Amino acid sequence: MKHVILFLCALSFSVFAIEGFYLGVEGGYVGPLGKAKDTYNSALGFGADIGVKASPIIDLTLLFQTSSHAGGGGLNCYMTGVSADFTLGRLNDFEFALGGGPALYLLRPSGEGENRFGIHFGGHADVLIDERVHVGLGLRYHAPFSAATMDSFWTIMARVGYQFGSTF
């Protein structure tokens, strides 16, 4: 039993060792879904990512996105979320990943706004310019819980990121 515990401890340290830090920016298209698509127009969206490469296949990322939608008096949408992204594989200089997680949505129409928790999930395909610079395209679905203003939306964003190597 002692050997099993030692093996699990060693495995947990190797799985959660930090391999590097990631900074990225993104810009693209935000499209309302459901009842919101009849009220609000699609808009340009922008975002930033701050992440940790926990292993060769797992990235833990803090996401920020914003968009301003015309129609219905206007709507500003802000999202802060956490994502666990799992790298599915690499093919030459292309990397493919899927992931998602919880998020906080701040939906601010011209009147009162609402703050809602929700979930997001999606995937991305990146071209590895080198081991540090990634350029790609990401698609993500967002679902704020019980939001009256915008019940769900999707984003398609061009991404550029830089991976800083680990110093420990």
* pLDDT tens column, 7-29: 545 544 444 567 789 999 999 99
Paired tokens of 101:
């997680």
pTM equals: 0.82
Strand partners, 91: 94
DSSP structure class, residue 166: P
| 53 alpha-carbon distance from chain centroid | 14
As a CATH number, domain 18-165 is 2.40.160.20
DSSP structure class, residue 125: E
Alpha helices, H only, the chain = 2-15
The candidate with the shortest Cα–Cα distance to 45, out of 150, 125, 167, is: 150
pLDDT of residue 39: 87
pLDDT of residue 12: 47
Domain coordinates in residue numbering, the chain: 18-165
Paired tokens of 2:
């002692």
